[in-house]
Amino acid sequence: MQLMLNRKVAMITGSHGGIGRSLVQVFAEQGADIYACVRQTDEAFEQWIRELSDRTGRSIRSVCFDLTDSEACKLALQEINVRQTPIDILVNNAAVAQGSLLHMTSLKELRMVFDVNFFAQIALIQNVSRQMARRRSGSIINISSMAGLCADPGSLAYGASKAALNHATRVIAAELASFNIRVNAIAPNVTDTKMLDHMDPTVIEKIVARTSVHRCAQPEEIAKVALFLASDLSSYINGQIIRVDGGQFF
């Protein structure tokens, strides 16, 4: 059977994280070569990608940079360009979580969250989509959040940064469609990763109670939706915010 991402090249940010690792694994298993972007690498991560690369026969390389460091980000893209393996798929997955009520949220924190979850994502899309536009091909997937669609107390900074990313997804999709670049976002509900450590357990319980499946998502359940959006199976889907919410109807 034909692999869904046969010989495509994917750049995935936040590859060290819970959903990021699943993205790397699911994409490699479906035939993609991968630039696994991490803030910092370590021996355990390098060992994991070596084993995955051996098992799948795909090229998987770690690329280290902090998303908020625009110079480091440019250098990383230059390093990728030197290899002359143009990026077909960009998954903007890295993000920071933050939760606090309006009067407990400093502007400094708000800016920090927007720096990572919004401005850095747009900068990366600007850089990568220029190359995609020249080749008239590409799929960009932004990992957003249900927090950007709901208005739960305490989600001001994080939720607003994801809502901004949702809006940007639709605008950029409209702008880049003529270059045959599709841009979509995924809005996961609470997902079983270390990001949940930043959330109040009672808030997690409340959100889970709103889902019809009564559980958190597993990271691979998000990665498989990204796989669909990255592949040609979704060729007529553009500018969408796909809720992966376990059936949350309110």
Ligand X SMILES: NC(=O)c1ccc[n+]([C@@H]2O[C@H](COP(=O)([O-])OP(=O)(O)OC[C@H]3O[C@@H](n4cnc5c(N)ncnc54)[C@H](OP(=O)(O)O)[C@@H]3O)[C@@H](O)[C@H]2O)c1
Instruction: Show which residues are catalytic.
Output: 158
Exposure string of 151-181, with b = 16+ CB inside 10 Å and e = fewer, is eeebbbbbbbbbbbbbebbbebbeebeebeb
Residue closer to ligand X, measured from CB, 77 or 190:
190
CB of 163 to ligand X, least distance (A): 12
Q: How far is the CB of 48 from ligand X (least distance, A)?
A: 13
Interface ranges with ligand X (CB under 6 A): 14, 16-20, 39-40, 66-68, 93-96, 116, 143, 145, 188, 190-191, 193-196
Nearer Cβ to ligand X (103/108): 108
Residue 182 contacts residue 238 (beta carbons within 8 Å):
yes
What is the chain's length? 250
For ligand X, the closer of residues 42 and 235 by Cβ is 42
Question: CB of residue 68 vs ligand X: minimum separation in angstroms?
Answer: 5
Residue 1 Cβ vs ligand X, minimum distance, rounded to whole Å: 29
**Nearest Cα residue to 60 out of 10, 116, 122:** 10
Q: Which is nearer to ligand X, 39 or 224 (CB)?
A: 39
Name the residue number minimizing CB distance to ligand X. Answer: 17
Q: Which of 119, 135, 234 is CA-nearest to residue 168?
A: 119
